[in-house]
Amino acid sequence: MALDLTAPWQGPHGGVPPFDRVDVAALRPALERAIAEQDAEVIRIAADPAAPTFENTLEALERAGAALRRATTLFEIWSGSLATPEVQAIERELAPRLAAAQDRIVQSAPLFRRIEAVYRSPESAQWSPERRRLAWLQYTEFVRAGARLDDAGKQRLSQINQQLAELFARFSQNLLADETDLCVEVASEADLAGLPAPERAAAAAAATARGHAGHWVIANTRSAILPFLTYADRRDLRERAWRMFVDRGDSGGSTDTNALITEILARRAERATLLGYPTHAHWRLEPTMAKTPERALELLLAVWKPAVERVREEVRDMQEIAGGVTIEPWDYRYYAEKVRLARYDLDHNRVKPYLQLDSLRDGLFWVADRLFGLTFTPAPSIPVYHPEVKTWEVRDRAGKHVGLWYFDPYARPGKRSGAWMSSYRSQERLDGAVTPLVSNNSNFIKPDPGQPALISWDDARTLLHEFGHALHGLLSDVTYRTLSGTNVALDFVEFPSQLLEHWMGTPQFLERFARHHETGEPMPAELVRKLERAATFNSGFATVELVSSALVDMKLHLAGGEAIDPRAFEKRTLDELGMPRELVMRHRTPQFGHIFSGDGYSAGYYSYLWSDVLNADAWQAFQEAGGAYDAAVAARLLRTVLAAGNTVDPAEAYRAFRGREPRVDALMKKRGFA
């Protein structure tokens, strides 16, 4: 008998996803059944003859849709990490239907009347702060989602949301196709001159996997392309690899995303107008810390000028080494590495042997223990969806079960690029303790059997970043699922993750976990000092990459009903900003998955910089106290931020942690612009 993918999860720790028993053919009918079940649950809540109360309305909504959440968790893992053509076909078909199901909830007039009655109830004065927060959030989100529209407006809004869901799926699949199918193939090892041995081995393995044993393949993913651009001596091959990577989604062929982007922007603009907002950006930023596009732009532009000036300095330094070669975008990383070597005597190929993935993963656990009292124990009996995925049980200082952590580290066909955290189940205690299930997902190049996975310094920082998101989910301590963990404002969610990156460079961490993969010796003190001295090296490049992406994102979504040609708009905007010609946006518009594979970060890429203000200021709190491992500051961070989820306004949460507002000067100092 086929497994019911909507059924409550069985097994230890309140049940775990049956990843090892999923039949792809069962995904579609499971989602269809779960949508119908959620519809029925919501209708029952809306039609309840009893007067609306917090319990029979808001808490009832918290319980509704459990079967759909379970089925969607499985579906999203397969579409994001195991995306076969069969799965992609299901995604294209079901994405609009899932969007329509959500619209049926927020557009239910009887349900909204009940929510509004509860929200405005005079009894709310006696509620706990968490109850008041949930009532405010539910009411506000229903209004923002169109609950007050007339029937015609609701119908059109639902059509738009369904169209967008389909467009998002097509965008993601086009981008994945370019990342999976395109590559640079090299027939002679001599053409890989300059490329370190681990990257050569990875390229050879990639070629073998494609049926071209004896050749080398540079895959069209960030983890393969960036080392090639940094070290490969063949300038023509660097240019070829660079163009392949930055032109993802911009080929003019069947995977081109430009027409999809034009349509996405048009539908978003129409939706914003329908909901009563000037632009999509105004609608998206209303519930954030920034509140308005103008405030977000103010921060972006304040950082833009010093970052561009720093890029000009960096280019001058590179040009001295490059001689008669005019620095082009495919040269930037290559010559920046040579400047780093000349100025700081810092060769990252000397750093990498000390950064073994398994050891760094153990370092994550050690930091979580030192700061928050968490221990991680392997849990090999927990089902996983791929043999490369491993699982750990998490416990607190008292030995109490906290949750499960899944780790999916390696790139493979059908897995979207980048690094991310997922929440398979959120912490809550409405009907008893429900513990969280979270995952971290990366795209490191898998080493040959018996060889260690060695990663770069930047990749190691990213590892800590994503683990920061995981800790945010694991350490949640709230009653209601909707307010749990990382379910916070967009420009606050990146704060804990960015903050955790700092522990990578602490002497205590490096001494224990940055050890040579062959000798076991710790990273030499001299090499550590070089890393510290070079901490802000190339900060102009990194900042301009990020801020240019954020500015283009914001301006695209401030354009309102303007018909947008993505290529022309990107070029015009960057020209007006004075974008240095020697580099490109971190995410060019045709491949900007953050903003076009869903609404999540749309008009919100600025949040990485906004959160970095909080991050830099919060790190100073540790430095002003007893240092990186100060127990009192860590306990305050846990209580006011990580455990609190969305039970308080994020600005209040930060003030409770820091005792004051964040200061931008900390960011400028962190990036070397002070």
What is the average pLDDT across 357-382?
Answer: 98
pLDDT tens digit string along 52-66?
999 999 999 999 999
Of 575, 587, 577, give the one whose Cα is nearest residue 545.
Answer: 587
Phi, psi torsion values for 428, nearest 5 degrees = -165, 170
pLDDT tens digit string along 148-183?
999 999 999 999 999 999 999 999 999 999 999 999
In this prediction, residue 506 has a pLDDT band, given cuts at 50, 70 and 90, of: very high
Q: How far is CA 291 from CA 298, 301, 339, 536, 616, in A?
A: 12, 17, 41, 30, 21
In this prediction, residue 416 has a pLDDT band, given cuts at 50, 70 and 90, of: very high
What is the average pLDDT across 429-447?
Answer: 96
Residue-range domains of the chain with CATH: 19-148 (1.20.1050.40), 182-246 (no CATH), 295-352+537-670 (1.10.1370.10), 353-533 (1.10.1370.40)
pLDDT tens digit string along 251-268?
999 999 999 999 999 999
Phi, psi torsion values for 434, nearest 5 degrees = -115, 120
Q: Are 17 and 4 in contact (CB under 8 A)?
A: no
In this prediction, residue 640 has a pLDDT band, given cuts at 50, 70 and 90, of: very high
Report the 10 Å Cβ neighbour count for 652: 11
Of 79, 2, 59, 65, give the one whose Cα is nearest residue 35.
Answer: 65
With helix as H, strand as E and coil as C, how does 498-554 read? HHHHHHHHCHHHHHHHCECCCCCCECCHHHHHHHHHCCCCCHHHHHHHHHHHHHHHH
- Check residue 674 and give its pLDDT: 78
- Check residue 1 and give its pLDDT: 56
The neighbouring-strand residues paired with 407 are 390, 440
Catalytic residue among 62, 166, 337, 466: 466
Is the predicted pLDDT of residue 2 greater than 80, yes or no?
no
Helices (H), 559-606: 566-577, 593-596
Q: Are 421 and 441 in contact (CB under 8 A)?
A: yes
What percentage of the chain carries pLDDT values higher than 70? 100
pTM of the predicted structure, to 2 decimals: 0.95
Angle between helices 293-322 and 539-558 (to 10 degrees): 140
Coil, strand or helix at 548: helix
What is the average pLDDT across 213-242?
Answer: 97
- Check residue 378 and give its pLDDT: 98
Task: Look up 466 and say whether it is catalytic.
Answer: yes
Phi-psi region of 414 (alpha: psi -120 to 50; beta: other; left: phi over 0): left
Q: Are 396 and 386 in contact (CB under 8 A)?
A: no
Phi-psi region of 673 (alpha: psi -120 to 50; beta: other; left: phi over 0): alpha
What mean pLDDT is reported for the chain? 97
Q: How far apart are CA 126 and CA 141, in angstroms?
A: 23
CA within 13 Å, CB half, 668: 14
The amino acid at 414: G
Q: How far apart are CA 663 and CA 654, in angstroms?
A: 12
